[in-house]
Amino acid sequence: MSDEDERQIGPGRNLGFNSSPASADEGESVNQGLFDDLLSGEPIFENKEVLRPSYTPHELPHRSDQINKMATILVSALRGETPSNILIYGKTGTGKTASAKFVSQELESTSSKYEVPCDVEYINCEVTDTQYRVLAQLANKFIEENERRIEDRIDRLESIRESILEGAWDETLPTDGSTHAGDRGRTDGNHSTGTDAPAGTDASTGTDAPAGTDASTGTDASSGDRFSPRNSDSPVETKGSKGPKASETEGRTSTHSNSDNLENSGTKPSPQTSSSSRNPPLDHPLADTPFSSLAELEAQIDGLLEDRDAFEEVPMTGWPTDRVYSVFFDAVDYAERVVVIMLDEIDKLVEKSGDDTLYNLSRMNSELENSRVSIIGISNDLKFTDFLDPRVKSSLGEEEIVFPPYDANQLRDILQHRSEIAFEEGALSPDVIPLCAAFAAQEHGDARRALDLLRTAGELAERSQAETVVEDHVRQAQDKIELDRVVEVVRTLPTQSKLVLFAIILLEKNGVRSINTGEVFNIYKQLCEEIDADVLTQRRVTDLISELDMLGIVNAIVVSKGRYGRTKEINLSVPLEETEVVLLSDSRLSEVEEVQPFVQARFDS
């Protein structure tokens, strides 16, 4: 793996952990014994994966307060009520994402255990960073979810249909007008024809659902409205027909309009089909459904199929945003449920695209008829709400949860926990965890940094075929991580900044010390010409130098030159060679390599 290869600083780092063209080149020299050697040492790791950021731990020491608070707020969703919006703050590596994901997994699994409709959708706004993309991603997730529900529902209806046909039942449910659907249920065994009770008849079985499960009734005064279709084609798979309350709320007036409601609620319609004088057999397959005839049921299936086909996936670009919003809105409102939308790195979204997305999401509930939305925003930046519209700010911040930095002792516990699964017994010398914890505590109590350090130290030990990880491996790991950080910062600089930085590097390489802005500008200009880039003004270049200074890549101090005014003295503060490699890995800058002899000639003279 490229990430294992110490020599490979720079470009290789960008290739991700799984691809490694560089090592493929080296493959030519692969000979017998290359891996044998490496395998022969005592293994250090038992399961390295648990130290990676992608691993979600099941236990989160020192976060029970935050987790409990989240759970206390979100439990409303399981009662069919809308949970308050939550804003979670804390610096990077304080366990925000891990805790939020843990809570949402628990919420979803409890909701399916009790069959309360509640969906949690997680979006990382650092990746999905525009309103369009957030809405499109959410729309598509809900469409997928709706399609899944529709298919489930169709399966259930199909099985009822088959029961009717196979059991040679009347195609119309005979009615006596007095039997309430809810009372019918499974009061006796199977009919002599051996018809299996269709899924729908489970409705009346008491489940061990908590009181909160009557999502359909407990909400608010408008709950009556919530069941009425928003428009003529709004089917409402309100709850699985197995839901504890389903039999009471299932109901259906007619199938002649858009016959696509899943299980529209309301009361059982007055019989409208040609009534038969017979009493309804209690176990007629339609007995416990909202349908009074096979035709109605079939119309429902057709309607569902139509619905399913009507969902149009949102393309990742190209539509007007209001169209994306409306598809998203309809997809959310298709079914009755509580929807928790978790927006991680929400500050990145606001920074990049403003607060429109949050504004739109936070006012949705006033228009939704079947569903309710609750938002959990997670931010690394404590001050990001300053940039929000006051209405958004107050709605989003209904509840706030702070994740403070970990101190060294807490980090030690976290590492201890994780190391037990990650390392072979006895692979860590006793001072390793305390040192990793101490280093990471200096980095604003960042647990991610602590885990990275521990993993990297283990990898270094493994590579040097040491039997145990020792303090020195941790120190080397600290240096390596710091270098990796620089590499990453340099790699992601805009082209103009890269050119400025490259000019500084060329000057340093040629022995110029205490470089001034004018010198940088001259070389920068030549580089721009060489690669056909726009040449910025010297004023702008000075600004870019200040930015590099703030990023810790160069060190620029202002010195007074008496009556000649003031200038900057600039020095590189990162390792020259590694930085140059990263710059040259940029396809545009790689052309610049050819200009070097020329630049050098200037200095040699």
Which residue, 47 or 217, is less far from ligand ADP as judged by CB?
Answer: 47
What is the DSSP code string of 273-288? SPPPSSPPPTT-TTTT
Q: Which does 414 bind (CB under 5 to 8 A by kind): Mg ion, ligand ADP, none?
A: ligand ADP
Q: Which does 518 bind (CB under 5 to 8 A by kind): Mg ion, ligand ADP, none?
A: none
Q: Which does 273 bind (CB under 5 to 8 A by kind): Mg ion, ligand ADP, none?
A: none
Q: Which does 474 bind (CB under 5 to 8 A by kind): Mg ion, ligand ADP, none?
A: none
Q: Which of 67, 86, 98, 523 binds ligand ADP (CB under 6 A)?
A: 98
For 476, the enclosing helix (H) or strand (E) is helix 471-491
Output the smallest distance, CB 96 to Mg ion, in A.
Answer: 5
Residue (of 504, 478, 501) closest to 491 by Cα position: 501
Output the smallest distance, CB 452 to Mg ion, in A.
Answer: 14
The reply on whether position 451 binds ligand ADP by CB under 6 A is yes
What is the DSSP code string of 501-536? HHHHHHHHHTT--SB-HHHHHHHHHHHHHHHTPPPP
The reply on whether position 69 binds ligand ADP by CB under 6 A is no
Mark residues 75-114: x for contact with Mg ion by CB under 5 A, - for none: ----------------------x-----------------
Output the smallest distance, CB 229 to ligand ADP, in A.
Answer: 40
Output the smallest distance, CB 377 to Mg ion, in A.
Answer: 12
Residue (of 563, 546, 220, 257) closest to 372 by Cα position: 220
The tokens for 399 are: 């509840």
Classify residue 238 by its DSSP letter: -
Q: Which of 8, 66, 82, 97 binds ligand ADP (CB under 6 A)?
A: 97
The tokens for 73 are: 């707020």
The reply on whether position 139 binds ligand ADP by CB under 6 A is no
The reply on whether position 235 binds ligand ADP by CB under 6 A is no
- The single residue listed with the structure tokens 């790791």 is 45
The reply on whether position 93 binds ligand ADP by CB under 6 A is yes
Degrees to nearest 5, angle at CA 523 with 518 and 527: 140
Q: Which does 429 bind (CB under 5 to 8 A by kind): Mg ion, ligand ADP, none?
A: none
Output the smallest distance, CB 446 to Mg ion, in A.
Answer: 11
Dist CA 336 CA 236 (whole Å)? 7
Dist CA 473 CA 27 (whole Å)? 28
Residue (of 81, 308, 100) closest to 213 by Cα position: 81
- Residue 303, C-beta contacts closer than 8 angstroms, at least 6 positions apart: 235, 255, 258, 259, 260, 261
Q: Which does 335 bind (CB under 5 to 8 A by kind): ligand ADP, Mg ion, none?
A: none
- Point out which span in 64-72, 91-99, 316-324, 575-583 binds ligand ADP (CB under 6 A): 91-99
Can you tell me whether residue 251 is helix, strand or coil? coil
Can you tell me whether residue 302 is helix, strand or coil? helix
Output the smallest distance, CB 421 to ligand ADP, in A.
Answer: 11
Q: Which residues pair with 120 in a beta bridge?
A: 340
Which residue, 361 or 447, is less far from ligand ADP as judged by CB?
Answer: 447
Q: Which of 62, 226, 455, 568 binds ligand ADP (CB under 6 A)?
A: 62
Output the smallest distance, CB 60 to ligand ADP, in A.
Answer: 4
- The single residue listed with the structure tokens 């000639």 is 601
Q: Which does 13 bind (CB under 5 to 8 A by kind): Mg ion, ligand ADP, none?
A: none
Output the smallest distance, CB 53 to ligand ADP, in A.
Answer: 5
Output the smallest distance, CB 127 to ligand ADP, in A.
Answer: 14
User: Residue of minimal CB distance from ligand ADP?
Assistant: 95
Dist CA 453 CA 436 (whole Å)? 6
Dist CA 551 CA 489 (whole Å)? 8
The reply on whether position 86 binds ligand ADP by CB under 6 A is no
- Point out which span in 2-10, 32-40, 58-66, 577-585 binds ligand ADP (CB under 6 A): 58-66
Q: Which of 13, 79, 96, 268 binds ligand ADP (CB under 6 A)?
A: 96
Measured between alpha carbons, how far apart are the two ends of the chain, in Å? 45
The reply on whether position 57 binds ligand ADP by CB under 6 A is yes
Go through 574-584 and write b for each residue having 16 or more CB atoms within 10 A of its CB, e for each that does not. beeebbbbbbb
- Point out which span in 65-73, 131-139, 446-454, 568-576 binds ligand ADP (CB under 6 A): 446-454
Angle between helices 321-333 and 131-166 (to 10 degrees): 40
For 341, the enclosing helix (H) or strand (E) is strand 337-344
Give the sign of the dihedral formed by CA 564, CA 565, CA 569, CA 570: negative
By CB under 5 A, name the binding residues for Mg ion. 97
By CB under 6 A, name the binding residues for ligand ADP. 53, 57, 60-63, 90, 92-98, 414, 447-448, 451
